[in-house]
Structure formats: structure tokens, C-alpha cells
Structure 1
Amino acid sequence: MSLVAALLLVALPAADRVCAALAEKRIAERIAARQHELSGTPQVTVGGFPFLLGAARGAFPTVEVRADATTKEGRRVRATVELRDVAQRDGGYEAASADAGFTAPFDSLGEGLGAGATLSADGAGRLRVETGILGLPLTVVAEPRLTGRTISLVPVAASFAGRPVDPAGPRISAAFADRKVVVPELPAGLTPTRVSVDDAGVTLHARGDDVRLT
């Protein structure tokens, strides 16, 4: 192999990656300019190699966007959006489909639960709420449910001072009746599909078709 050929084998992938990074930066800046709830510039990853071939065709297999945002209520949210079959159209880009997750960490969801209340995952996809009443511990496990655009928490287990109590009792039911949240309009016309709970927090999942990226 000649020296020139060897240099090309090294230089071409590097140049391809530089071009991809520049494109990712440009897309991120355009998204940030359109979505004012974002905290800083999102991270964009364009899938497919070589990038320049995809750019010449105006099509990429995947584009992933990660961003931090703050809701109107002041809650922090981490958004992850995976777009598939992204193609250039009308001066911008559209994706054939998209799956998204909007995760609120537990420490941003405790408002209204009282001082000292903590939230965590119970390991089975449900939310564990721990607080105190008259100096005694109260633990409630609630299942998140999505009905249309409304998220509600339904108590399924509870204990007070270490003893099981009825999660459907009037006091517990009343406390969780006010915890309903109406999902606002999501970016790019995404539609809520389900809610999940894990160690990262509570995640709203959403999906969309024919999604406009920039």
C-alpha cells in the first residue's frame, strides 16, 4: 500500500466524522432556536456511515436527540427522541417515525407531598412514596396510568407504622386524587403512549409519524 493510499484511509474517516459533527451541531442549534423550553443546546447524533454518503442522498437511518428542559411548572425533564428514516424535504428534515421519552427525576416531582417526603421506584415499575404522619412512617406504592392525555397515580399498596393499610381508603385516595397531570402539547406532534417508572424517575413515552425535525 502506498503512502498516499494509507493517508487517505486515515484521513477520509476523520473528515467524515468532522462533517458529521458539524451537521449535528447545526441541527442542535436549529432545534434549540425553535424549542424555548430547552436548557442549553441539545445533543444530536446522526446515525449511518459514511455520513457524507447519507448527506449526498439527503437521508439518514436514525437521528437521536437528547436535551434537558424545564416545564412551565418548573419541573426538570430529560428528553430523548429517536427518529428513524430521516430524509431532507422542503429545506428541512422529516422522520418517518419517532419514539420519545420525557423523564422527570424524582426530586422534581415531590411538590405538595410535604416536608421530608421522598419518591423512588419500587422495582416493579411503580412509584413508592414515603412520608411521615405524626412522627410515624407512611409508605404508599402507586401505579402510574395514562388515560388519553391525563396521568394519574393509583395507590395499590400502603403501610402505616409498618402495618398494611387499605390503599383505597378515603385519606390515601383523596391525597392522590389531586396528583393528576394533564400532558401539554408535545413537540413535533408526538402523542403520549404510556408512563413508566425506573431509577431515573417517571418517564412519559410518546410516538409520532412524519415528524418534522428542522
Structure 2
Amino acid sequence: MTRRRADCRRRLLWTSLVAAVPLVALPAVDRVSASVAENRLAERIAARQKALVGTPRVSIDGFPFLLSAARGAFPSVDVRADAVTGEGRPVRASVELRDVAEGGGGYTAASADARFTAPFDSLGAGLGEGAILSADGDGRLRIDREVLGLPLTVVAEPRLTGRTITVVPVAASFAGRPVDPSGPRISAAFTAAEVVVPDLPGGLAPTRVSVGDAGVTLHAGGKNVRLA
């Protein structure tokens, strides 16, 4: 009787183990499938967007992935990429896509929020030789350079009007003394630095511009964005 009970317990144990194997393996299989889909989508985006440098990094959120894949819809897809503007400026792109659906041989997002960040060291052209740009800590742009061997510091606000980005000086000092930021020489330098935003991928529209530790960021958004 005791031996029969032991055999029964062993059979129950093996049955439980066999039943548990698929449950343990499912998350791994799901993650591998998601990784394959992310790589495939990244390659399609790279082929569609010629301004990209290398292959973008794609992350598809949500578990189980296989269920979303079967439905042909994903709640969230994040894309990170490096790109170059027509003027040769490097840009870091970050795009958050929501409610991405497959159809028509590609993918479309119901909505998208994007950030295109140009590092400070790529923005000095037009603001004077040797100009050093940084964030002033209050969401504004700080420009430091030398004029006649003396330090000139200008604090400016980037503004977006339609598709044009202007940088408006709001404070300035020369050799440690305050000067008028709207003076002709300073104003002329910043007028020359105006930038017209080119057409953005997927029909995204610019919404605002900001300054942070990483550089100057153009924010954009859109509806029914064609991804790849």
C-alpha cells in the first residue's frame, strides 16, 4: 500500500512538471517572437527613411506579444534612431507610437509623439566662430563666445512659428556687463540662425521646441502615422 502511494505521488509529480514546462517556456518564446518582429520592423523603417544612420532600435510593448501579433495590432511601439538632416546635422530621434495596426502591407499608428534632438555642438554655425552652446537651466539656450578677446554671453529662447524655428535673445552681457540683447549685432546673428523645419517622417507636424541637457529638441505629433 505504501509503495502504491509513493508511485502515485511520483506520477502526480511528473504530470505537474510536464504541465508546467509550456507555462515556463511561454514567456521565453513570446520574447523571442517579439525580438524577431522588432528587428523586422526596424529594417523596414530603415529602408523607408533614408535620413537614418544605421538601423533604428524598436521596442514593442505588451504581453503576450503573440496574442497582439495574431490580432495584427500592438498597443505601443517605441522607436529610437540616429539621423542626419539635409544640412548634415546629427539628430537623435525618439518616437512613441500608440495603437499600431498592420494592414495594407505596412503599419499605421493611431497617434504618435516624437522628439528630434540636435546636440549643442552641431548648432554653433551662424552664431559666431568659437560659439559654445549649452542649456541655461531654465529651458533657454546659452551662447558663450569671445568678441575682441572679451567674453560675450547671450541667453535666448527658441520659438516655433509654423515650421520656422527662431532663437530670440532675451538677455546678454559683454565683459561681465549687461548689454541690450536686441542690439543690431546680436539680433543679426540670431536672424541668420533661423531654421525652417523640413517635412517630417510619417506626416508628423512640429508642435514646439525646447532646450535640455542633451541639446535643442523639436517636438512633433500626428494621427494615423504611416510607420513602414
TM-score (norm. length: structure 2): 0.92
Instruction: List runs of 5+ in structure 1 lacking aligned partners.
Output: none
Determine whether 1:104 maps to 2:141.
no
**Contact 2:167/2:190 (8 A) holds in 1:** yes
CA shift for structure 1 position 5: 2.7
CA shift for structure 1 position 3: 1.5
Determine whether 1:64 maps to 2:78.
yes
**What secondary structure sits across from 1:40 in the alignment?**
strand
91, 94, 101: which one pairs with 2:108? 94
CA shift for structure 1 position 177: 0.9
Deviations 1:122-178 (A, max 9, x none): 111110000000110000001000000000000000000011111111111111111
Deviations 1:67-92 (A, max 9, x none): 00011111000001111011112122
40, 52, 58: which one pairs with 1:44? 58
Match of 2:182 in 1: 168
119, 128, 150: which one pairs with 2:164? 150
Once residues 190 and 128 of structure 2 are traced to their aligned partners in structure 1, the CA distance between those partners, rounded to angstroms, is 13
CA shift for structure 1 position 195: 0.2
192, 196, 221: which one pairs with 1:178? 192
**What secondary structure sits across from 2:26 in the alignment?**
helix
Determine whether 1:117 maps to 2:131.
yes
Q: Would you tell me which structure has more helix in proportion to its own residues?
A: 2
CA shift for structure 1 position 9: 2.3
Determine whether 1:28 maps to 2:28.
no
Match of 1:12 in 2: 26
Determine whether 1:74 maps to 2:88.
yes
Percent identity reads 76
Once residues 115 and 153 of structure 1 are traced to their aligned partners in structure 2, the CA distance between those partners, rounded to angstroms, is 17
Amino acid of the residue matched to residue 10 of structure 1?
V
CA shift for structure 1 position 116: 2.4
Match of 1:140 in 2: 154
Once residues 104 and 82 of structure 1 are traced to their aligned partners in structure 2, the CA distance between those partners, rounded to angstroms, is 18
Determine whether 1:130 maps to 2:144.
yes
**Contact 2:128/2:189 (8 A) holds in 1:** no
CA shift for structure 1 position 93: 1.3
Determine whether 1:189 maps to 2:210.
no
CA shift for structure 1 position 7: 2.0
**Contact 2:51/2:85 (8 A) holds in 1:** yes
Deviations 1:80-127 (A, max 9, x none): 111101111212211110000000000111123333220000111110
Once residues 4 and 145 of structure 1 are traced to their aligned partners in structure 2, the CA distance between those partners, rounded to angstroms, is 63
Q: State the aligned residue count.
A: 214
Amino acid of the residue matched to residue 13 of structure 1?
P
Q: Over the residues paired in the alignment, what is the CA RMSD in angstroms?
A: 1.0
Moved over 3 A (4+): none
Once residues 128 and 182 of structure 2 are traced to their aligned partners in structure 1, the CA distance between those partners, rounded to angstroms, is 20
**What secondary structure sits across from 2:160 in the alignment?**
strand
Determine whether 1:85 maps to 2:99.
yes
